[in-house]
DNA sequence: AATGAATGAGAGTTCATTCAT
DNA sequence: GATGAATGAACTCTCATTCAT
């Protein structure tokens, strides 16, 4: 049988299927790179890690923040799913896991906005986190009033920033304790 | 290759007297720029704001972090002075003022960075803040144990980041309340 | 801080086809600039002469020495080709031509520098020159022993540096005479 | 007895004696720094090593090359003194010692001149070396004709550049051997 | 649609040189 | 005369973003 040769110099164009796969690969790569290098990591590093060209990255995420937002989006979705399934302390455990693992979570919820599309979207995501938690929040809970809930999250986030992975988890635990809040096991949500 | 400089029409060289003035101008400029743009602001912006050449900045602050450390140092000194004069809630008020005013405060105390001279110094400053507060901390205070004290500060800092000035102050108050800690008036220390 | 680029009125992006052409242009420009200004010439001068942006230079030659090595590589190839075709005195003529034309030649073969990738490669090239010459070197030739051969080349190079073009050629001739070695016509190798 | 205090902020002004001492210190420092870092070493390093301000350096050596020339001048004087006292092979030994020790020697004799005062002076020094050697050169010596003598020196210089100290000495010996010239012990001239 | 090279604006850093004190 | 700070141009290197193929 003859060997079919791939025409040289013409990169494969996989069509729609590949496009979706690329998007996922980019988000996954971004999650890793952000964790390793922080949110300021060069976009080229993400594209490289994802195994795609820079152009693809721009096609899927035209603004720099879109990339980070996409990672955050996934995190938020997990928190929402957890809120469907487990009581408050469990949800907080999942949330805490994301706080300690994912640079995107902290960095973006914190982002002092110049505004812009993705800043607005970060606020949307922030609202989704709040709603997800609040449905599990019993009346009269310590954090039930005003924006105490989101503030507490920001505080835990503040407690963990700047430390290495192991230390982050320890600090998160202490921080919640100082807030007088019970937190379940710190781990990702698995349906 | 050697550097070839064109020495035409050079502005006056202020001489030795201006050295101290320049240093102060740089620190003041850095405080402003950090507040506006964050700790990653370009050094050139600081030099420009201070009205000096880039070389002057490097003479006074050979490493990037030295600049931020100098700002931090001033903040810490005020906290220490407050701790000499007023009781805990007052000191926390001064501390909180710095947390809400100065981007350099926590970013630096917290950085678990690569090490290096100024990282070590940041730890020294961190220790000084802790000692200053602890001497005013009654036994059995909520934050008396372990590193609860510094962690609480980091938490308030986390609560505060990303908001505008007015909002920052409100959030700081709420954050301390969530921690169950009484805080005096939020203001700079004036001997 | 992130890099903010102003993308106004950007010149055309030549696309992938120009890559090879750019590389060649850079090597050619480097050859000229090195000859004019020495191996320490600013890389920006090379990029400018080649008519490309600085980034292109770095893409093709990530380390400073890579650029010089590329020039050297071409020189060495010519010597090797000459060694395939003509007897010793002819090869030495070609070699001498490169010594008198190209600043990159000895500066690089000689650098006992810190090591690093391109230093290693320089040694490879040095070995290739030596082998190319040695295959044409009759037993018992004056330069047959030890590293006499490469040392002699370094000596001629030393004789030649610092003079203008015409003078260089004269000195090279004298230098070889002092070494008691017969050299053919000094000229580039043309297949 | 009262302690006499040195008036602060007024650097001692030692008068003429100190000026001479400073000049010597600078030349000595330059010799060291050049040996360590090459002729492109920052002038500030030389001033620092000499323990004087940058201004003093410029007072004594207004042009960059003046500094290097001063070092070279001393080298040349030693060769001249040797030529008064010992036969050719001894003088060549002293010369070789300088070639292997002193970056200034090689670099400057080689300097492809833009011209300028110190380039001219380098030629003067070059002439002095030649005359010093020639008076010891028997008629009919290998290097007696034309500029063979200086060319041979340049060749040895070329042989040694780029190697580390120990290697330089070995190469110098081989180089002189290839030139068929007998050389005495390689060492500085001590009256 | 994907690729990956090109572009060029900065950011960081280093020094030669001047000059008030 | 000496000191050493100031100046700022020049150089290296990095990326965000575009775009021919």
pLDDT in tens, D137-170: 999 999 998 899 999 999 999 999 878 888 899 9
User: What integer is the mean pLDDT of D123-146?
Assistant: 92
Q: Which of A191, A160, A176, A178 is nearest to A89 (CA)?
A: A176
Chain B contact probe: residue of A36, A161, A173 with most B CBs at under 10 A: A161
What are the backbone dihedrals phi and psi of residue A14, each rounded to the nearest 5 degrees, phi first?
A: -80, -5
Looking at residue C108, its pLDDT comes to 65
CA D184 – CA D186 distance, rounded (Å): 6
The answer to whether the CB of D60 falls within 8 A of the CB of D26 is: yes
Minimum distance, in Å, between the CA of residue B84 and any CA atom of chain A = 27
Could you check: is the Cβ of residue A56 within 7 Å of any atom of nucleic acid strand E? yes
Q: Report CB contact under 8 Å: D158, C162.
A: no
At residue D4, the pLDDT reads: 44
Please give the mean pLDDT across all residues of chain C. Answer: 87
Dist CA A111 CA A100 (whole Å)? 17
Contacts of C184 (CB under 8 A, 6+ apart): C86, C87, C89, C90, C91, C92, C93
In chain B, the residue whose alpha carbon lies closest to the alpha carbon of C40 is B1
- What's the mean pLDDT when you consider all of chain B? 86
Cα angle A158, A159, A164 (rounded to 5 degrees) comes to 105
User: Is the per-residue pLDDT at A10 higher than 80?
Assistant: no
- Mean pLDDT, range B183-190, rounded to an integer: 93
d(CA C134, CA A182): 80
Question: Is the backbone of residue B13 left (phi > 0), alpha (psi -120 to 50) or beta?
Answer: beta
Q: What tokens appear for A138 in the block?
A: 């019993």
Min mean pLDDT across A100-104, B130-134, B142-146, C187-191 is at A100-104
d(CA D51, CA D73): 22
- Which one is predicted more confidently, B139 or A104? B139
Between B183 and B145, residue with greater pLDDT:
B183
So what's the pLDDT on residue B92?
97
CA distances from C90 to C98, C138, C189 (A): 13, 14, 9
Tokens of A109: 């919820």
B38: left (phi over 0), alpha (psi -120 to 50) or beta: left
Tokens 């096991």 label which residue? A185
Phi then psi for residue D44, to 5 deg, are -60, -35
Per-residue pLDDT, B145: 86
From C107's Cα to the closest Cα of chain A, the distance in A is 35
Residue in the block written with tokens 């050859």: C31
CA distance A27 to D186: 68
Closest protein CA to C1' of nucleotide F10, residue: B3
* Per-residue confidence (pLDDT) for residue C3, from 0 to 100: 53
The reply to whether the CB atom of residue B2 sits less than 7 A from any atom in nucleic acid chain E is: yes
Query: Under a CB-based contact definition with an 8 Å cutoff, are residues B108 and B39 in contact?
Result: yes
3-state secondary structure chain C: CCCCCCCCCCCCCCCCCHHHHHHHHHHHHHHHHHHHHCCCCCHHHHHHHHCCCHHHHHHHCCCHHHHHHHHHHHHHHHHHHHHHHCCHHHHHHHHHHHHHHCCHHHHHHHCCCCCCHHHHHHHHHHHHHHHHHHCCCCCCCCCCCCCHHHHHHHHHHHHHCCCCHHHHHHHHHHHHHHCCCCCCCCCCCCC
- The pLDDT tens digits for B98-117 are 999 886 576 666 665 556 67
End-to-end Cα distance, chain A: 47
- CB burial readout B5-16, b (16+ within 10 A) else e: eeeeeeeeeeee
Structure tokens at C185: 């016509």
pLDDT at A111: 58
Q: Residues A96-105: what's their mean pLDDT?
A: 85
Asked if D33 and D46 touch (Cβ cutoff 8 Å), the reply is yes
Judge whether residue D7 has pLDDT over 50: no
Residue range D15-49, pLDDT digits in tens:
678 889 999 999 999 999 998 888 889 999 999 99
d(CA D148, CA D129): 13
Are B97 and B185 a contacting pair, CB within 8 Å?
no
Q: What angle do CA A12, A17, A23 make, to 5 degrees?
A: 90
> Within 117-176 of chain C, which residues have Cβ less than 7 Å from strand E?
none
Burial class (CB within 10 angstroms; exposed 0-12, middle 13-18, buried 19+) of D184: middle
pLDDT, tens digit (0-9, with 9 covering 90-100), for D162-189: 788 888 999 999 999 999 999 999 999 9
Lookup result for tokens 């710190």 = A186
Give the dihedral of Cα atoms D112, D113, D114, D115; nearest 10 deg. Answer: -170
CA–CA gap between residue B60 and residue B67 (Å, rounded): 8
Cβ(C50)–Cβ(C28) below 8 Å: yes
Confidence category of residue D13, pLDDT binned at 50, 70, 90: low
Task: For residues C97 and C168, give the distance between their C-alpha atoms in angstroms, rounded to a whole number.
Answer: 10
Q: Which residues, numbered 46 to 85 in chain D, qualify as contacts with chain B under a Cβ-Cβ cut-off of 8 Å?
A: 64
Considering only the beta carbons, identify the residue of B147, B148, B159 that sits closest to A155.
B159
Give the closest-approach CA distance of D70 to chain B in angstroms: 19
pLDDT of residue C164: 80
Give me the sign of the Cα torsion angle D133, D136, D142, D146.
positive
pLDDT at B62: 93
B contact residues 14-33, partner C, Cβ 8 Å cutoff: none
pLDDT digits (tens, 9 = 90+) for A133-175: 999 999 999 999 889 999 999 999 999 987 888 889 999 999 9
The pLDDT score that the predictor gives to residue D10 is: 46
- Per residue in B143-169, pLDDT tens? 998 899 999 999 999 998 878 878 889
Report the largest interatomic distance among the alpha carbons of chain A, rounded to a whole angstrom: 75
Nucleotide nearest to A59 (CA to C1'): E1
Highest mean pLDDT among C6-20, C96-110, D84-98, D102-116: D84-98
Find the Å distance, CA of residue D32 to C1' of nucleotide E17. 23
Identify whether the C-beta of residue B189 lies closer than 8 Å to the C-beta of residue B81: yes
B5 C-beta less than 7 Å away from strand F: yes
Q: Which residue of B has its CA nearest to D10?
A: B16
| Two tokens, residue D93 | 């030994």
Q: What is the mean pLDDT of residues C84-94?
A: 96
Chain centroid to CA A88: how far? 20
Are the C-beta atoms of C129 and C149 separated by less than 8 Å? Answer: no
D136 CB burial (10 A radius; 0-12, 13-18, 19+): middle
Residue B60 Cβ under 7 A from any strand F atom:
yes
Question: Closest Cα to residue C61, out of C104, C94, C95, C101?
Answer: C104
| B48 Cβ nearer than 7 Å to chain F strand | no
CB A34 within 8 A of CB A41: yes
Among C129, C30, C32, CA closest to C77: C129
- Per-residue pLDDT band for A86 (boundaries 50, 70, 90) equals very high
What is the number of CB-based contacts under 8 A between chain C and chain D?
78
* pLDDT above 90: residue C1: no
* D150 close to C (CB below 8 A): no
Check residue D107 and give its pLDDT: 64
Q: Give Cα separations from B183 to B96, B107, C77, D63 (angstroms).
A: 9, 22, 77, 64
- Residue C37 predicted with pLDDT over 50: yes
Which pLDDT tens digit goes with each residue over B3-50?
A: 555 455 555 566 677 899 999 999 999 999 998 888 889 999 999 999
What's the confidence (pLDDT) of residue A85? 96
State the pLDDT at residue A116.
66
Confidence of residue A3 (pLDDT cuts 50, 70, 90): very low
**Chains D and A: 3 or more CB pairs within 8 Å of each other:** no
Q: Helix/strand/coil (H, E, C) string of D127-141?
A: HHHHHHHHCCCCCCC
Q: What is the pLDDT of residue D1?
A: 43
The rounded Cα B124 to chain-centroid distance in angstroms is: 13
B40 interface with C at CB cutoff 8 Å:
yes
- The Cα B147–Cα A160 span in angstroms is 13
pLDDT at residue A101, rounded to an integer:
87
Average pLDDT, chain D: 87
Burial of B157 (0-12, 13-18, 19+ CB in 10 A): buried
pLDDT (mean) for B178-187: 96
Higher pLDDT, D21 or A15: D21
Contacts of A109 (CB under 8 A, 6+ apart): A72, A122, A125, A126, A129, A153, A154, A157, B162
Residues A154/A109, Cβ–Cβ less than 8 Å: yes
Examine the pLDDT at A52 and tell me if it is beyond 80: yes
pLDDT at residue D111 in the model: 58
Of B123-127, C60-64, D30-34, the poorest mean pLDDT is in: B123-127
Q: Which nucleotide has its C1' atom closest to residue A16's CA?
A: E1
Tens-place pLDDT, residues C111-149 = 655 566 777 788 888 899 999 999 999 989 999 988 999
């Amino acid at each position: 049988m003859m060997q079919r040769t791939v025409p040289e110099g013409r990169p494969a164009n996989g069509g729609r299927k590949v496009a979706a796969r690329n998007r996922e690969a980019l988000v996954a790569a971004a999650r890793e790179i952000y964790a390793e290098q922080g949110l300021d990591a060069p976009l080229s590093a993400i594209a490289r890690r994802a195994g795609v060209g820079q152009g693809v990255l721009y096609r899927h995420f035209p603004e720099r923040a879109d990339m980070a937002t996409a990672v955050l989006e996934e995190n938020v979705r997990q928190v929402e799913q957890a809120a469907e399934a487990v009581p408050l302390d469990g949800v907080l455990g999942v949330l805490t896991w994301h706080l300690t693992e994912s640079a995107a979570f902290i960095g973006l919820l914190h982002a002092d906005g110049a505004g812009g599309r993705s800043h607005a979207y970060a606020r949307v995501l922030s609202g989704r986190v709040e709603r997800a938690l609040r449905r599990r929040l019993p009346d009269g809970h310590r954090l039930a009033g005003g924006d105490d809930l989101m503030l507490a999250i920001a505080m835990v986030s503040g407690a963990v920033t700047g430390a290495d992975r192991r230390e982050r988890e320890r600090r998160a635990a202490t921080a919640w304790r100082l807030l007088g809040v019970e937190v379940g096991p710190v781990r990702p949500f698995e349906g």
